[in-house]
Chains A and B, each alone.
Chain A
């Protein structure tokens, strides 16, 4: 990306003043090296977002921003409830895709003797990959209850405990979900997919805490160097994908019929106050609940797998974050507290210390921000910062982002060679698809550490711990 047009505000903050149809500036948080490597499409898309009606303060891009759909992936934008819009493309197809991390109370040496057995048991227990199906098939009534209740619904049916719920954004249940706004097609697509991991960049990883940067915060989160944790990355499965597809088309046609020329069809949106906007919000919130329920069921399956191998292990939830959402939140803008609809597309909520929505035990430390790496590389746990609330509506990065296409990855690497190379480093991969493994090869992704360093240095969130993988279940 050409940096000449930007005004630099500190080492890690780049501003492009509003011009042409833009209503607000673009602000990108990144190092110079990340900016130079960033696709020029990121700026084009961030500028398009800056021109949407009702946008407040700025169109933001996180350090891992890359070319997305309408919005850049790693994009954050907040809209006024009266004049603003909600965008199906701004949330994305994988609604409420996110990461949750479970503590195990085990140390790395406890795992080593059973690492292969644990890998095989997790792989047998967790449905992963194309065509995999869950054991739970919901009736129409239960589907409605799941779409209303999210992880709370799952806990009420025995998948976990009440203690899990306070460790999930929205306490595990997104309010305002409207199951009536979810089509029969979306429900049918979910029929066999409850409690499934999916494929692509979704995974379940057993990790060890390799490095701690903030011991006091790490202690508040219940982690210390040498601990073993489990992280699960997946979203709202087929139901969320179908809702994204259907509402995007409806918003494109509505814009066309209203004579609105969009610079990019994927920017299609509807006024928040319109019937279409409200219906989308209801369906999207139902998809958030689907994602939360899905991760809760996967947690239950993970606990069952651990019980088979390490019966003494307990796996309490550290935290669960979503990174493809639009949520109504209160933020301070120009000294005034305002209700806003905050889109985070490939960006993690990162609320700072004292925020009332955080569980009491994390209120002093700030929200855990869970950042997934690629297979075989580090993942990170960060903490939200008080001044991060002013920077990008309490948001941080979400992961590494791809450095090359899937085609290029399969041209460079063989799946078997990737599995063998990682096994040589003590990382066990279990996947039904070697081609899928090749497409997800570690070097096909950007360096997550440079992304996290930039997020920390920019004041979006602070580094707490670095995790390294021991076992990775890939779809």
Chain B
């Protein structure tokens, strides 16, 4: 299982997808895909940590909550995030996202993200033992 992220096609918006050896790693990769909707994640300096906690009764809803928490922190702190560490125990996600304030000149952010949706929402173990986490985000 290669740890990676990608975007997938949606007619009006953008799909974000993460792959990882664990569910947590897939969530972290999908978060990088989320940042890549706005800017190149490699250009975001992981200087400031922000703690994030979510609860949901199933993995898929927890994944959507995780992305929506990042969208909320991005919007209210005017920050971009480039590094993530996720832990999940019994439906509770505890994470740290590292980033920096948006620098319009340097990051040239393309578009705001309104929210992570339940469209194409999927969190599952793949045949090779790795994990996939994905959904469409509304921009």
Contact = CB atoms under 8 A, between A and B. Distances in A.
B108 A405 contact: no
Contacts of A439: 110-111
Interface stretch (A20-28, A47-55, A153-161, A244-252): A244-252
Contacts of A238: 75-76
Nearest to B79: A131
A89 B117 CA distance: 9
Interface string B119-131: 1010000000000
Contacts of A434: 108
Contacts of A432: 104, 108
A43 interface: no
B111 A199 contact: yes
A268 B65 CA distance: 16
A253 B115 contact: no
B117 A266 contact: yes
B7 interface: yes
A242 B72 contact: yes
Contact of A405 (B9, B75, B102, B104): B9
Contact of B114 (A73, A89, A93, A408): A93
A436 B111 contact: yes
B102 A130 contact: yes
A69 B109 contact: no
Interface residues of B, number: 36
Given A94-B114, A242-B72, A253 B61 contact: yes
Interface in B87-139: 102, 104, 108-112, 114-119, 121, 136, 138-139
A200 B112 contact: yes
B117 A69 contact: yes
B31 interface: no
A435 interface: yes
Interface string A400-417: 011001111000000000
B7 to A, nearest CB: 6
A256 interface: yes
A264 B111 CA distance: 27
B22 to A, nearest CB: 24
Interface in A179-220: 185, 188-189, 191-193, 198-200
Nearest to A253: B57
B68 interface: yes
B78 interface: yes
A433 B57 CA distance: 39
Given A129-B109, A241-B115, A406-B111, A249 B11 contact: no
A435 B108 contact: yes
A93 B139 CA distance: 9
Nearest to B13: A406
B44 interface: no
Contacts of A256: 57
A433 B109 contact: yes
A265 interface: yes
B64 interface: yes
A266 B75 CA distance: 23
Nearest to A198: B112
B112 A475 contact: yes
A406 B117 contact: no
Contacts of A323: none
B71 to A, nearest CB: 8
B32 interface: no
A402 B11 contact: yes
Contacts of B12: 66-68, 73, 401-402
A93 B112 contact: no
B118 A200 contact: no
Given A73-B12, A266-B119, A402-B12, A249 B64 contact: yes
B14 interface: yes
Contacts of A242: 72, 115
Given A73-B12, A405-B10, A249 B61 contact: yes
Nearest to A438: B110
Contacts of B139: 199-200, 406
Given A433-B108, A475-B112, 15 more contacts: A39-B11, A67-B11, A92-B138, A130-B38, A238-B75, A241-B115, A244-B114, A248-B118, A249-B65, A252-B61, A252-B118, A268-B118, A405-B9, A436-B111, A475-B111
Interface of B: 7, 9-14, 38, 56-57, 61, 64-65, 68, 71-72, 75-76, 78, 102, 104, 108-112, 114-119, 121, 136, 138-139
List the 6 shortest-distance A-B pairs measured between CB atoms, nearest first. Answer: A130-B109, A265-B118, A131-B102, A435-B110, A241-B114, A93-B114
11 contacts: A129-B104, A130-B110, A199-B110, A238-B76, A241-B114, A244-B114, A266-B119, A406-B14, A433-B108, A435-B110, A475-B112
